[in-house]
Structure 1
Amino acid sequence: MESEPWVDSEALAAHLGKSVFTVRRWAQTGTVPGRRVGNGWMFRISEVDDHLSRPLDPWQQSRRSRARNRS
Structure 2
Amino acid sequence: MSPFARRATVADPWVSADDIAAHLGVTKDTVYTWIAERGLPAHKIGRLWKFQADEVDDWVRAGNAASPAQPS
TM-score scaled by length of structure 2: 0.67
Change (3 A) 1:31 1:13: same
Please, which runs of 5 or more residues in structure 2 have no aligned partner?
1-8, 65-72
Q: How far did residue 27 of structure 1 move?
A: 1.4
**Structure index of larger Rg:** 1
Moved more, 20-29 or 8-17: 20-29
Candidates 6, 11, 18, aligned match of 1:3: 11
Partner of 1:60: none
- DSSP-derived class of the 1:24 partner: helix
Contact 1:27 1:41 in 2 (8 A): no
Partner of 2:54: 46
CA RMSD of aligned residues (A): 2.0
| Structure holding more helix per residue | 1
- DSSP-derived class of the 1:21 partner: helix
Partner of 1:19: 27
TM-score scaled by length of structure 1: 0.68
Candidates 28, 49, 57, aligned match of 2:36: 28
Q: Given residue 32 of structure 1, which amino acid in structure 2 is its aligned partner? A: L
State the number of aligned residues: 57
Contact 1:4 1:44 in 2 (8 A): yes
